[in-house]
Structure 1
Amino acid sequence: MQPHLAFTNFLGKRIHLGVCGSISAFKSLELLRMLQRTGAHLSATVTPSAARFVTALSFEALGAAPVYGDMFDHRDAVFGHLDPGQDADGFVVAPATANALAKLACGLADDMLSCQALAFPGSLVIAPAMNPRLWNAAATQENLAKLKERGHVCIEPECGDMACGEEGRGRFPQLESIYLQALKAVTKQDMAGRKVLITLGPTREAFDCVRFWSNPSSGTMGAAIAVAAWLRGAEVTAVCGPVNLWLPEGINRIDVTTAREMFDAASENFPSVDAACFTAAVADYRPANPQQDKFKKEQGGLNVEFKANPDILKTLGSQKTDRQFLIGFAAESSDIEGNCHKKLSAKNLDLIVGNDVTAEGCGFGKATNGVTVVDAKGRSESWPVLPKSEVGWRIWDWMLGL
């Protein structure tokens, strides 16, 4: 899993996983492990059909508890059909078959899983997987529409080759999509109604048709901040430099390459947002006269003249309104807190996060970061080296606390 998705702050949450009879059932074991790494407790129900593909013992061996099967096989849990509805914070059905969708839509309760789902008071997260003809059947689509109308989260299956040899929509959704929707279902939506803008990653400034001036930013920190805001209910727009990072479909992603492209995208979206967090490692300069052709060694020495790029953070900071909250990042190699205080004032920020890119476990391309945080009210803190996902979550906690 990419580091910006590896959240670990769900200790005390319980997620119940329902597994139906599909060839994709074995993938639910990996989903279980992904969710366990967040600190959440997992329980499961394996339908008799699913047990033909993967056994209840497999889930028990991986730490799920309790694990239910047939309705009448659990003498020590007489009211197991009501259990998740009483104690679970979230309920995921993955994979969900066409038969399961029909039961859930019609309120049938003739087995353990359907009864538990009917008794669960919250919204279900449903990840269908089936043959494309079953998926496209009118009855299946009507059942899906009913479930969505009731507020359940239905993750569309993917297109591709099926186990049966056919091709079309019906493949088990990407595990990361199910994982994040499960986490969102158990997350307090304390950023609901807020619009958030994030910039992340490096920019690239070409000096011929194949070479560019850039930096080693991976975009992990900004992506973690973006996903954390989305999990907490915000409407998120992420302006991404050239990075290899997966983001959920719920995030409006705008891909750019150069600093000027990032400036244009950020400037266009900034007036409509409530908060912005600019984490991108933007190239301060660009080659003034990039060559259209590839530079050849035979041409002699390489001399590149540079021009300044627009300062995105300072420009938009000067346009910030009283209703907007602006967060900046400072990648430094010395005097972190001093430089943070200077940039906080110079760029009209509400909060700045500085990190020493030379420190162990920090900086570009790392899954962790150790930061100093300073706000406009004079409060400052230095945090130990933490997963970037945890840093991102804490930054929004700080904003909400001001």
Structure 2
Amino acid sequence: MDGKTYKLRASCNACNESKVRCSQTKPTCARCERNKTTCVYGLSRRTHKDAPPISLSHSHSHSHSGSQPHSHSGSRRSSVHIPNATATANATTTANYTSTTTPFMPLHENSMTSYPPQPSVDQFFAQQQPHHQQPSTAGPGPGILSPANLDLPSFMTPLPTPNEDHTNSLFSSFGNFAAGVGGVNGSVNNILTPLTGSPGTGTSASTSTDMFQQPQVQECTCHAGVMEQMASMSQPSRNEERRLSLDVQLSQLKRCIIASEASMGCGHHGNGDSEPINIISVAMLIGRIIDEFELMLNERIGRGTTMPERERSLSLDEATISIREPRLCWGVLELEDDDEVELRQRLYLLYFRKLERLLSQLNVFVRTLHDSRGGSCNPTFIMACEYIHLWLEKKAEGVKRLFPAADEYTGRIPS
């Protein structure tokens, strides 16, 4: 040796013998000597750059190692200028060796799944650069694993980062999808925009109004009063302890009669393709009115006592007037008790006559239904309406007999 101290590898590349002790003239470790194998990989690649690659045959390696003593004197000076074949072999050997030991190759496999950003890749190369560049500082060129020799864009095709542009494109795509759905079910702007003409919507105010015109035509509130009055006439009011006063009862009956007349006089029955079901509700409300009249008359007259009919009515009415009902008056005129009782009886009869007129209107309605809609309306429905009207008339006649002085008032009562 020329006085220089060469750095030896920690182990032999051929047999992993620890603490290789060999020289340039005899690069053989102890294990290779026992196995009678020529060891050409004992020296470090830094000082033994002309060693043949592993892929070459054993005979070529032996002949090449035998020629090493002749070229030892100039190997150190000409170590930088290596023939192209040898440099290519060294590069191939280094690439084959590092492909199984370096952790960088799995990075290409994971780049399609983890999508690492560019700064993290540069940071990884900055950490790995001292380790990979150390064996090749005096080599034929830059390191194989240097970032300068790798075309990262060709290996990595990550998805776009969700930045502002990507978000805008996402919402624009969603807007196009909503527009496509709106094109199938109708214009979205016509539904969400108020019914006023505005530029840019593509529709006029008349077109938007036509969309909601049909439900508005079919809306009818003529029958709402009947249902409201039926709900107000609750069952607890039939209890004698919770009976209402005369003025409240008569005003409730008056509202029921008005609601029934409005429902029968409704002109929103359509074009005759269905039965007017509202007449059943009107008939039920009329039946409730007759029941209320019967309860009031039974309470006032007090049937079942031994007193004469006239005296029973007066005594019960006087007790009711003095306890819980308001007194009748006409300006400054003070009414006697018997006069007030007579006026109350006339009020009963007056509202009962209104009930009779309501039954007459129901009869006319049923006959008109039978004549005008006999072809399109269900005959069973018409027959049911006729039987209901007949039953209500019979029930009203039975209530009319309860009036104590009905025969005395033969004259016509003004409406």
TM over 0.5: no
Structure of greater Rg: 2
| TM-score between the two structures when normalised by the length of structure 1 | 0.25
